[in-house]
Chains A and B, each alone.
Chain A
Amino acid sequence: MAGPSLMDSLFQRSVDDIIKGIRLSPPGTESTFIAKSLDEIRREIKSTDPQTKATALHKLTYLHSLHGADMSWAAFHSVELSSSSAHSHKRIAFLAASLSFNPSTTEVILLLTHQLRKDLSSSNVHEVSLALSTLSSICNPDLARDLTPELFTLLSSSKIFVRKKAIAAVLRVFEQYPDAVLVCFKRVVENLENGDMGVLSAVVGLFCELTEKDPKSYLPLAPEFYKILVDCRNNWVLIKVIKIFAKLAPLEPRLGKRVVEPICEHMGRTGAKSLAFECVRTIVTSLSDHDSAVKLAVGKLREFLLDDDPNLKYLGLQALAIVARTNMWAVLENKELVVKALSDVDVNIKLEALRLVMCMVSEDNIMEICRILISHALKSDPEFCNEILDFILLTCGRNFYEVIFDFDWYVSFLGEMARIPHCQKGSEIESQLVDIGMRVKDARLQLVHVARDLVIDPALLGNPFIHGVLAAAAWVSGEYIELSRNPFEIMEALLQPRTSLLTPSVRAVYIQSAFKVIIFCLNSYLKLNGDDPSYPSESTYSDVKSDYPGRFETVASQLLSDTEPDNPNMVVKHGQKPSVSSKMHHLTLESLVALVNLVETNLGPLAGSNEVEVQERASNVLGLIKLIKPKLLGCLDTREGDKANGELKASEMVELIFGAFSEDLGPVSLNAQERVPVPDGLVLKENLRDLEEICGDIELPLSTSFSLVKLQTMDATSNLEHHSKEEFEPSTESTSLLAEHRKRHGLYYLPAENAGIISNDYPPAHDPKDKASDETEDLVKLTEQSLVIKKKPNQAKSRPVVVKLDDGEGFKVAAKAPEFKADLISGAVQEVLLGNEATTSSSRRKSSKKSSKRREMDESNVGVPESKNEIVKADMPEIGFSSSGRRKHHGHGKERKHRSSGKDKVHDHKDKQKSEHGHGKHKSRQRADGALAAQSPVIPDFLL
């Protein structure tokens, strides 16, 4: 080995050679060069010569950190080299370790423990600092545990340079090994009193991180933090301390009162924007109930907003968004600045401004704001345009359109949005259009107008992004065709040639809507021409009812009350609008035949479509036409001559289908399915349990909505299974087939734990396609529960009724057990700070004795943590008090006079202590207070 080693060290390539080599290698050959170098390194790194090894490791580290080469295999070599006596070798080894070791997966980390311990106790500060840096990046629980004693020593090192590093590194150790808190915490707290800015900054930074995770445990330290807040002039430290108070203040209102004043002072005094912003942010997030402070903060924010620096503007807007939650006036005051920011060049700023604008929305200004936003949307790039649309749709649709008063306007506005060239929010507009149709009866007329304009425009069909909107428009035109001025026009629109550009699912909706239109026309014709008495609308429903007696008896009244407004609607329209009645007039037989022919020619080819949905729906319509057409033609030929009883049949069918269609669709709660009782004789559960055994490992997606068709399939399958199970013993072959089937069509199966409560009665209301999938069954679909429509009686004067279901609509949120994982660090911190709080007072005395003993041992800082032990009992009052005490020293005694004599005794004792320890005044007073509080179980409120 000696030979090659010598050769290696003589001719070994250096890091610079490697870097140059990579830079010089022609493009594309870098990886081969790196691979070659890695081979070299693998050889060299095994060398016994530390110099060769170090260079090899150095090269490897370079390739790893900048070229992503794997170096996990070299972990042991780093450990080996780390024990080298040469500082430069050690540095290379530790650098490699800190960059490449993964605390949880690198096994050799523990081999470093000894070396790290040695270096941490070294007298050379550079070695110590190197070890600390390495420890902080590769720390795992074992390392943390083993090295805690060394770290504890370093925390009070006389060398500032080392001490601050130790403080920073201790955070990692606490995280990995919470028990270290018990050992080190006191020392860390002591450093809060250190005069050196570096140390102070490190320790405050440490507490800032700790408080972030669990503020409550650090409340007892508030006096120390307060002192820093008042005394310190270093911006960085102040920012961190203010951050700590932002976390603590919400927990203790009295603390807020204390700190608000100094924070405001800093905000007014400082020239540093970072500090000023931190003050502002803290005031608006944590001290928002202090009005004067908020006013000051908003004033400062305005300066930020007016600044040219985009960073400040952005932060100003961000802070304003926080203020908006509690103090809306602040946003309104800066309205013009916010609106101006909408046209900023930076998308970050624009988004913040948009968020703020949407905060301002109320019933009164929604129209104005939407107008402004749309004009911005038209001007801006597609991405931001859609962002705006998204926000508008979200805000307007929030909580069942609570900000919308004028639905006619909103519906037209939705139509307008769909026409914006960059609009990609088709699906959201689609669901809102349908949703409003179902929920807001008064908006339907306008909705039909808007839908007509959308459907009729051939240009829109070419834009795939708004196909969803068109589907909704088509559905609306079909569903509410009776409100339309001209059904013929709608029909032409629905069948226009460019509909071939639509996706099959949308096309299916178009065809279904056409179906509804034709049924409507036929029915109107029959009603007009016919003998009014023989076709009263009630008969339709009684027919229907007799078909499904069981289900409808209970619903009947509701159903009637629901449908009544519809029919009268038409009647009223007859009277009110000449256009509507005229529509009825030119509904002649000829026009009807023309209409039927139009449908037939257009849909004929589609009966052979490849798409199942399209084909099926087209066939439905064609089937009806086939039935109806001869009658119509016959009618045309012979006029009123001989009405065959065949026609009667056809008309009856038209009636029936019309009846099915004219039932009002309401919104269906997503939870509705669960409330349906299991029909008798449906033994779904057992089969499913079997299935679970068979394929329990398959995770099934829980579909929130599925179409009726699928459900039926499922029912059929499960029934089938059921039968087969009863009749034959299920053979293994069939079960495996079943499992296979389930695997492939998992969606159609119910998840096993869903207890098999299913019904085929609830198509999701939002999906227009589902309605189309069943004609007569539509009637069955809404059972009592879903029809219990809650109409808020006194919702608003002018605002149309928005139907909401009585139970919480929307997704049923699985009750998540708020599993609070106890933070181990804070547990330990509390243990240190609270000490034996829970124990009796006798043991407390013992502990304080212990503490005093310890105080003797520990000279530098007099038992601060012990004093904390007790102070916590007194809790916040103490904090506020002692912090105030520092400044109002004289008022102190007076306040105390309110207390009982027993306490006064302690007070005296405390005063004595104070005079004795001039130096540790602050702490000893706390101690006394704590002891005092320990005596009184009820915490006195010293501040109030």
Chain B
Amino acid sequence: MIRFILLQNRQGKTRLAKYYIPLEESEKHKVEYEVHRLVVNRDPKFTNFVEFRTHKVIYRRYAGLFFSLCVDITDNELAYLESIHLFVEILDHFFSNVCELDLVFNFHKVYLILDEFILAGSCKKQARSYDIRCRRNHRENGELEKQE
């Protein structure tokens, strides 16, 4: 199960944070700080998985943004790694060439997309396989645009 998802930039500023388990505010800030510390200095050649407390963080870096998913230790790393990519592709499609500022100014839309993507800690959209590039999900965006 996904415990939380974080979007952070290289300076450690949180651009999106959604927790699927109840946490105290102070604990959230601590978690965000720790996750940033964990991922920020990792070489691109390193693995995308790091152990975090009793869970593991699966992260991916896109330009200056780190997308980190915290999942259970038994979860499938590769599948979640791919779902991060899918999420980014959806964002990219929605904002056409997404950049950090898009996410800042449209934070509510990002949360909406995220809610479509993950609900109650499980991915609803399935990523394609690890090495097959997934296609963009038009239907999803159609729905969102309808809501707008």
| Contacts from A to B (Cβ < 8 Å) | 15-16, 19, 58, 61-62, 65-66, 68, 70, 87, 91-92, 95, 99, 102-104, 126, 129, 132-133, 136-137, 161, 164-165, 168-169, 171-172, 197-198, 201-202, 205-206, 209, 212, 234-237, 239, 243, 270-275, 277-278, 310-311, 313-315, 345-349
B105 touches A16 (CB 8 A): yes
A310 touches B25 (CB 8 A): no
CB-defined contacts of A243 to chain B, threshold 8 Å: 74, 76
A168 touches B76 (CB 8 A): no
Identify the closest chain B residue to A315 (Cβ): B77
A206 touches B115 (CB 8 A): no
A66: contacting residue among B20, B46, B104, CB under 8 A: B104
A235 touches B129 (CB 8 A): yes
CB-defined contacts of A345 to chain B, threshold 8 Å: 43, 45-46
Q: What separation, in Å, do the CA atoms of A272 and B79 have in the docked complex?
A: 9
B124 touches A165 (CB 8 A): yes
Shortest CB-to-CB span from A148 to chain B, Å, is 15
A133 touches B119 (CB 8 A): yes
Shortest CB-to-CB span from B51 to chain A, Å, is 8
Taking CB atoms and an 8 Å cut-off, the chain B residues in 85-112 that contact chain A are 104-105, 107-108, 111-112
Chain B residue total in the interface (Cβ 8 A): 50
A137 touches B20 (CB 8 A): yes
A346 touches B81 (CB 8 A): no
CB-defined contacts of A66 to chain B, threshold 8 Å: 13-16, 104, 107
Query: Which of B72, B112, B119, B146 has the most CB atoms of chain A within a 10 A radius of its CB?
Result: B119
Q: What separation, in Å, do the CA atoms of A348 and B52 have in the docked complex?
A: 12
Shortest CB-to-CB span from A817 to chain B, Å, is 23
B104 touches A212 (CB 8 A): no
Per-residue contact bits, chain B 14-27, to A (CB 8 Å; 1 contact, 0 not):
11111010101100
Quick check: is B132 within 8 A (CB to CB) of the other chain? yes
B104: contacting residue among A19, A202, A315, CB under 8 A: A19
Q: What separation, in Å, do the CA atoms of A91 and B112 have in the docked complex?
A: 9
Quick check: is B31 within 8 A (CB to CB) of the other chain? no
CB-defined contacts of B132 to chain A, threshold 8 Å: 271-272
Secondary structure type dominating chain A contacts: helix
CB-defined contacts of B130 to chain A, threshold 8 Å: 272-274
Name 11 extra pairs, CB < 8 A, besides A65-B16, A212-B72, A274-B76: A65-B111, A132-B119, A161-B143, A209-B122, A235-B126, A239-B79, A270-B129, A273-B78, A273-B130, A310-B46, A347-B46
B76 touches A206 (CB 8 A): no
CB-defined contacts of B82 to chain A, threshold 8 Å: 274
Query: Which of A270, A310, A313 has the most CB atoms of chain B within a 10 A radius of its CB?
Result: A310
Shortest CB-to-CB span from A245 to chain B, Å, is 13
Quick check: is B123 within 8 A (CB to CB) of the other chain? yes
Shortest CB-to-CB span from A317 to chain B, Å, is 10
Identify the closest chain A residue to B19 (Cβ): A137
A271 touches B79 (CB 8 A): no
Identify the closest chain A residue to B115 (Cβ): A133
CB-defined contacts of A348 to chain B, threshold 8 Å: 46-47, 49-50
Shortest CB-to-CB span from A327 to chain B, Å, is 20
Per-residue contact bits, chain B 119-148, to A (CB 8 Å; 1 contact, 0 not):
111111011111110000000000100110
B122: contacting residue among A104, A206, A313, CB under 8 A: A206
Shortest CB-to-CB span from B54 to chain A, Å, is 14
CB-defined contacts of A164 to chain B, threshold 8 Å: 124
Q: What separation, in Å, do the CA atoms of A239 and B82 have in the docked complex?
A: 13
Taking CB atoms and an 8 Å cut-off, the chain B residues in 5-37 that contact chain A are 13-18, 20, 22, 24-25, 29
Identify the closest chain A residue to B42 (Cβ): A346
CB-defined contacts of B29 to chain A, threshold 8 Å: 68
Query: Which of B18, B78, B131, B146 has the most CB atoms of chain A within a 10 A radius of its CB?
Result: B78
B45 touches A346 (CB 8 A): yes
CB-defined contacts of B1 to chain A, threshold 8 Å: 209, 212
Identify the closest chain B residue to A104 (Cβ): B22
Shortest CB-to-CB span from A162 to chain B, Å, is 12
Shortest CB-to-CB span from A337 to chain B, Å, is 16
CB-defined contacts of A15 to chain B, threshold 8 Å: 105
CB-defined contacts of B47 to chain A, threshold 8 Å: 310-311, 313-314, 346, 348-349
Q: What separation, in Å, do the CA atoms of A216 and B127 have in the docked complex?
A: 30
A311 touches B81 (CB 8 A): yes
| 11 residue pairs bridging A and B, Cβ less than 8 Å apart | A16-B105, A62-B107, A169-B119, A212-B74, A236-B79, A236-B126, A274-B77, A315-B77, A345-B43, A345-B45, A348-B49
Shortest CB-to-CB span from A124 to chain B, Å, is 10
Shortest CB-to-CB span from B42 to chain A, Å, is 8
CB-defined contacts of A271 to chain B, threshold 8 Å: 129, 131-132
Question: Contacts A169-B119, A345-B46 hold; do A274 and B22 have CB atoms under 8 A apart?
Answer: no
Q: What separation, in Å, do the CA atoms of A95 and B18 have in the docked complex?
A: 11
Q: What separation, in Å, do the CA atoms of A311 and B122 have in the docked complex?
A: 22
Question: Contacts A274-B129, A345-B46, A348-B47 hold; do A198 and B120 have CB atoms under 8 A apart?
Answer: no
Q: What separation, in Å, do the CA atoms of A695 and B111 have in the docked complex?
A: 54
A61 touches B124 (CB 8 A): no
Q: What separation, in Å, do the CA atoms of A271 and B130 have in the docked complex?
A: 9
Question: Contacts A235-B128, A311-B78 hold; do A87 and B111 have CB atoms under 8 A apart?
Answer: no
A237 touches B126 (CB 8 A): yes
Shortest CB-to-CB span from B113 to chain A, Å, is 12
Shortest CB-to-CB span from A322 to chain B, Å, is 11
Shortest CB-to-CB span from B134 to chain A, Å, is 11
Identify the closest chain A residue to B17 (Cβ): A65
Q: What separation, in Å, do the CA atoms of A299 and B127 have in the docked complex?
A: 26
A95 touches B126 (CB 8 A): no
